[in-house]
Structures are given as structure tokens and as C-alpha cells.
């Protein structure tokens, strides 16, 4: 179908989606195909970026021993892998240190930094951690060890003692740099990589050698960005869009093994990074060995890659079982928290490796911020997830300042903390009181926005492909929601533990499949299962391609429903 000239219906849908997301009409083309050329800032915009690049360049020229100190999650693993691979291309075999989640907890410890220095590391680069590690970095500074911090978490006004602290969320950043506060740590690390290569180029380092291919590192940038639930607008959309193309080439031995272990029969899509690849990398830090992710993404041995990928898949299955137990116990506590603005639950013996996932599940189910704390005697380790419009990381930093926490930090959508067991109830009350107004305002604006409404016959693979052209989608750049109807349900039942599966047919004689994930016990799920017989309704959600059969078909991932009459 032509709309005039060479513009197709698909082009018009993409244009309308971009306009609805606030893209100015004159900027449509830049956002339609997000490239680094069009979105990449000058790394020198960021405070301490040039200082960090200069210090690493000195280490490269001098052949110093460099260690990358990363967090144990996907963002930490990908940030570490990015710098290790880049330094390898520059002729430096950097070491790495990933703390054990259970034994050492989040962030750099002073003892570990000093040990690394005593073992010969004259330069340590922390990634995805360190912004609030004042005591640990003071110990390293006093021991004469140079430390560069590359992070994206909230900062305090007083910065720790470092050679350089590169973080777009520094409170003293200029507006142009602060506008990139949505970057994951791996995105900040990539910008540091650009600055480093530029510094080395200016000093003649590449006069007799080939420059590294920075674009080849975008697969790990994409994985870390999506898995860390970073907002997919601006530069992050370009990182992911281009990173998926790099990932499809399967040049990275470890990434290729991870894709195979995830049983993907096609090139990964954005959603696969968050639901298939990312959880496997995370499983190492959550319930297994914290170094597995970095080892996988930096190995040059295909057999080692296959072995590690299989190990991570097994650990991911183990993580799911542990998570289900904690989820069940947490939901029993939530049943008594009807009037809470923030759900905080705590349990003795809960595995700290799954509390973040459980917090995310509770947040999705209740529509409110959630904090889950694993108690171990006198202390507890907690992880929180928030909703759009409620800055949980800032609240946790305030709670630390109020003396309610031993440690804590994070960003708007996620936070971590350490708390004395006897202060858990006070923390719950404080968070509830402090964030009550923020949650109320955020919840008042949570009406579902629809991008397009179609009859069942319009729910086609062609429509899905057209909508995907405005992707990749994620937090901050939500996938388009489609309303389909009016329909009657031909079949509706429960599949798995609590997913509602359905077949819907419309007045146009066309039918389609749909599924509502984890909805069996919700009001919507109960209405679909027991109250929809003979009634016409509209279904709304996101459309996907079901490629399990011989012929790919469009299906609806149902998020809401409304009676048509």
C-alpha cells in the first residue's frame, strides 16, 4: 500500500511512533536508524575522561600491570571484558578481579585493592562500581596505588580519592555530559576506550601497528546496556542497534557460545539480551563463580567458551529454582502490605544472589517499588527495583545519610544496600514515608498508552516487522502497544505455572494467539479465564513473531483487556 511517493504504510507507522515518543519531525531520520556517528558525544565532555585516558595511555606505553576490577553483574562483566579486550589489542594483557557476591559484597574493598597493588598492579580500573567507595579508595590511595573509577551510579558531592572518576552522574558534571546519565557502565567504558585510542593516536602509538576495531566491541556494550535495564534512548539506542549487528556476526567466541547455549536459532533480538543472554551471565555472579562472565566474554578458546556457557546455563537453571522459593516467601509477606507505597520484605537465609530478581518481579506485579533483603544474623543485604518516576537510588543514598544503612547506593531504577537487621522495620517505614508522594504521582500517570488499534486481521507479521523498525525498544523507549479487537475468546487456559494462553477471533473471521505472562492470579487473568465466555473484548499488549511453527505468525503478549460491550 502506497501513501504517496515512495513512502509505504510501514514508513508512516514508524514515523508516527517516533513522533509519539517526542522525536521532532526534522529529526526523524536520525532516530529511525540510530548510528554512533549521529549520537556519539565527544568523550572529553565528561569530567576526568581525558585524565583517565592519559593515565591508561601512560600504562600502555610503559607496559605497566593493569587490573580491571569489575562488579559481578552483567554490566560489570561486559565493562570488564570490553577494557580487557581493548587493552589486549593494544598489546597489554590486563588482569581482572571480580569480587564474590556472598563473601565480599558489592563494590571495591580496600583490602582487595591493596592486595592487587602488592601483587604488582600499578593501575587499577574499577568498572560499574566505586563511585561511593570512599573508604576503600582512600586505603588504595594511602598505599600509593593509582585507581581510576568508571561508573554510572549515583555520586555524592564529596568524591572519593582517585586518579580519575568518570561518571556522567557526577553532581559537578556540565549539562551536556549529565544528559548521558542514562548510560550503563559499559557505555561509559566504551567512551573511555574511544578517548584512550585517540590519546594513543595523538602520541604516535599506532605509527607501526594497526588501531583496534572499537566497533567490534559493541556486542558487549549492547548486552550490558540492555541487561542493566538502562534507558534505551539517544546514545543507548545507537549502542544496542549497532551492537546487535555486531553480535549477529558471531565474531566474539564467547558471545557465540552464549547464544548457542541459550538455544537461539536466529540472530539475537534486543529482548534476548535481557531474557536469555543476560540472565546466564548474571547466574555466575548470583549463584556460581563470579568470574565466569568475564572469562567467557574474553576467552580465545572455543572449547573453553562452550564449557563456560554450558556451566552458566546450568547455574541459571539453579538460580530459577532458588528464586522461586524466595519469591513465594516474599509474596506471603506482601499480602499484609496493602497500603504500602514501597514493598519491603526480608527473610533469614534468603539467597542474596536472587533478591534483585525477586524485587523486580514484585515491582512488576504490584506496580510499586520493591526492596528485598536477605538476612544473615545481625545484617542484611538488600536489592531494590523501582518504577518510572521514583528515584530509588537517591532515596537509598539519603537513607544512608540518615544512619539507617551501613552502605547503599544505585541509580533511579535499581539500588543495593546493607542494613543492620534491627533497623529493617525503621527502613521500611522511612522509605514508605519518603517515597509515598512520588509513588502516588507516578502511579497516577500509569494509564496504558496505545500506539495503534487494529482488527484481528491486521495483526500480521508485516505489522510486527514495521513496528520493529522504530526499535530497539526497552526502558525509556517502550515497545509499541497495540490494541486488537473486538474479539471473542475461542480458547483460554493456563500454561506453565501462571501464564494465561488464549486464542481470540474477531468479527472479520480472523484469529490469533496470545499469552499473558504471570497473569493467572491477577484480576485480568481471572477475568479472561472465567468471565469472558460469550463476551466481546479488546486486548492490548505488545506484538511479537511466534517462529516456533513452519510459518512465522504474529501473536499478542497481552498486558491489559477491556470489555467491548
List pLDDT tens digits, range 340-396: 999 999 999 999 989 999 999 999 888 899 999 999 999 999 999 999 889 999 999
CA dist., res. 382 & res. 372, Å (int):
5
Domain extent listing, the chain: 1-31, 43-312, 336-444, 452-563
Residue 486 preceded by cis peptide, ω within 30: yes
State the average pLDDT over residues 271-283: 93
Residue with cell 539519603: 398
pLDDT tens track for 444-491: 766 778 899 999 999 999 999 888 888 888 878 888 999 999 999 999
pLDDT tens track for 96-118: 999 988 788 778 999 999 999 99
Query: Is residue 6 scored above 70 in pLDDT?
Result: no
- Residue 44 in grid coordinates: 572529553
- Among 85-94, 333-342, 398-407, where is mean pLDDT lowest? 333-342
Which CATH number describes the domain made up of 43-312? 3.90.1640.30
Query: Is residue 4 scored above 70 in pLDDT?
Result: no
pLDDT tens track for 45-93: 999 999 999 999 999 999 999 999 999 999 999 999 999 999 999 999 9
CB 510 within 8 A of CB 501: no
pLDDT tens track for 417-450: 999 999 999 999 999 999 999 999 988 766 778 8
Where does 338-423 have alpha helices with state H?
A: 355-366, 392-401
CA dist., res. 238 & res. 243, Å (int):
8
Query: Is residue 531 scored above 90 in pLDDT?
Result: no
CA dist., res. 489 & res. 536, Å (int):
8
Task: Compute φ and ψ for 373, nearest 5 degrees.
Answer: -120, 125
State the average pLDDT over residues 168-179: 96
Percent of the chain with pLDDT over 90: 78
**For the chain, how big is the Rg over CA atoms in Å?**
24
Strands 511-516 and 553-563: parallel
State the average pLDDT over residues 183-205: 98
- How would CATH label the architecture of 336-444? Roll (3.10)
pTM for the full predicted model: 0.85
Looking at residue 8, its pLDDT comes to 56
Query: Is residue 513 scored above 50 in pLDDT?
Result: yes
- Residue 109 in grid coordinates: 574493598
For domain 452-563, the question of CATH label 2.40.50.110 is answered with: yes
DSSP classification of residue 475 = T
Amino acid at each position: 500500500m502506497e501513501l504517496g511517493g515512495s513512502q509505504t504504510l510501514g514508513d508512516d507507522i514508524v514515523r508516527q511512533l517516533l513522533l509519539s515518543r517526542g522525536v521532532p519531525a526534522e529529526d526523524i531520520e536520525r532516530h529511525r536508524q540510530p548510528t554512533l556517528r549521529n549520537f556519539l558525544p565527544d568523550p572529553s565532555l565528561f569530567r576526568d575522561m581525558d585524565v583517565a585516558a592519559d593515565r591508561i595511555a601512560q600504562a600502555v606505553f610503559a607496559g605497566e600491570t593493569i587490573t580491571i576490577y569489575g562488579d559481578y553483574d552483567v554490566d560489570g562483566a561486559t565493562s570488564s571484558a570490553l577494557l580487557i579486550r581493548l587493552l589486549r589489542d593494544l598489546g597489554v594483557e590486563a588482569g581482572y578481579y571480580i569480587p564474590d557476591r556472598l563473601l565480599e559484597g558489592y563494590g571495591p574493598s580496600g583490602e582487595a585493592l591493596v592486595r592487587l597493588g602488592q601483587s604488582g598492579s600499578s593501575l587499577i580500573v574499577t568498572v560499574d562500581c566505586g563511585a561511593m567507595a570512599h573508604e576503600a579508595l582512600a586505603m588504595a590511595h594511602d598505599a600509593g596505588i593509582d585507581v581510576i573509577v568508571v561508573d554510572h551510579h549515583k555520586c555524592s558531592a564529596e568524591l572519593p580519592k582517585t586518579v580519575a572518576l568518570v561518571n556522567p552522574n557526577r553532581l559537578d558534571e556540565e549539562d551536556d555530559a549529565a544528559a548521558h546519565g542514562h548510560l550503563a557502565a559499559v557505555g561509559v567504558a566504551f567512551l573511555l576506550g574511544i578517548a584512550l585510542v585517540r590519546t594513543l593516536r595523538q602520541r604516535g602509538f599506532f605509527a607501526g601497528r594497526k588501531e583496534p576495531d572499537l566497533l567490534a566491541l559493541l556486542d558487549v556494550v549492547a548486552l550490558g546496556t540492555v541487561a542493566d535495564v538502562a534507558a534505551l534512548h539517544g546514545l543507548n539506542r545507537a549502542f544496542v542497534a549497532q551492537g546487535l549487528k555486531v553480535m549477529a556476526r558471531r565474531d566474539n567466541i564467547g558471545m557465540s557460545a552464549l547464544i548457542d547455549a541459550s538455544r537461539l536459532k536466529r540472530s539475537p533480538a534486543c529482548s534476548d539480551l535481557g531474557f536469555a543472554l543476560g540472565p546466564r551471565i548474571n547466574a555466575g555472579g548470583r549463584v556460581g563463580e563470579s568470574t565466569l562472565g568475564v572469562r567467557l566474554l574474553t576467552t580465545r578458546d572455543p572449547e573453553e567458551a562452550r564449557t563456560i556457557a554450558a556451566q552458566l546455563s546450568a547455574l541459571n537453571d539453579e538460580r530459577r529454582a532458588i528464586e522461586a522459593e524466595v519469591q513465594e516467601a516474599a509474596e506471603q509477606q506482601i499480602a499484609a502490605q496493602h497500603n504500602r507505597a514501597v514493598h519491603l520484605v526480608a527473610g533469614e537465609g534468603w539467597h542474596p544472589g536472587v533478591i534483585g530478581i525477586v524485587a523486580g518481579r514484585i515491582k512488576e506485579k504490584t506496580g510499586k517499588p520493591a526492596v528485598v533483603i536477605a538476612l544473615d544474623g545481625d545484617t542484611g543485604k538488600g536489592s531494590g527495583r523501582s518504577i518510572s518516576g521514583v528515584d530509588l537510588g537517591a532515596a537509598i543514598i539519603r537513607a544512608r545519610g540518615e544512619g539507617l544503612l551501613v552502605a547503599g547506593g544505585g541509580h533511579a531504577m535499581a539500588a543495593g544496600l546493607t542494613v543492620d537487621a534491627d533497623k529493617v522495620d525503621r527502613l521500611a517505614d522511612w522509605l514508605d514515608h519518603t517515597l509515598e508522594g512520588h509513588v502516588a504521582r507516578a502511579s497516577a500517570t500509569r494509564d496504558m498508552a496505545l500506539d495503534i488499534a487494529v482488527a484481528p486481521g491486521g495483526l500480521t507479521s508485516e505489522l510486527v516487522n514495521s513496528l520493529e523498525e522504530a526499535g530497539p525498544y526497552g526502558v525509556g523507549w517502550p515497545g509499541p502497544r497495540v490494541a486488537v479487537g473486538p474479539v471473542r475468546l475461542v480458547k483460554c487456559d493456563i500454561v506453565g505455572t501462571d501464564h494465561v494462553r488464549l486464542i481470540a477471533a474477531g468479527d472479520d473471521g480472523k484469529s490469533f494467539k496470545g499469552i499473558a505472562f504471570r497473569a493467572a492470579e491477577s484480576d485480568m487473568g481471572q477475568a479472561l479465564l472465567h468471565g469472558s465466555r460469550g463476551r466481546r473484548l479488546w486486548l492490548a499488549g505488545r506484538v511479537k513473531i511466534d517462529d516456533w511453527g513452519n510459518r512465522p505468525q504474529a501473536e499478542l503478549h497481552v498486558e491489559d483487556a477491556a470489555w467491548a460491550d
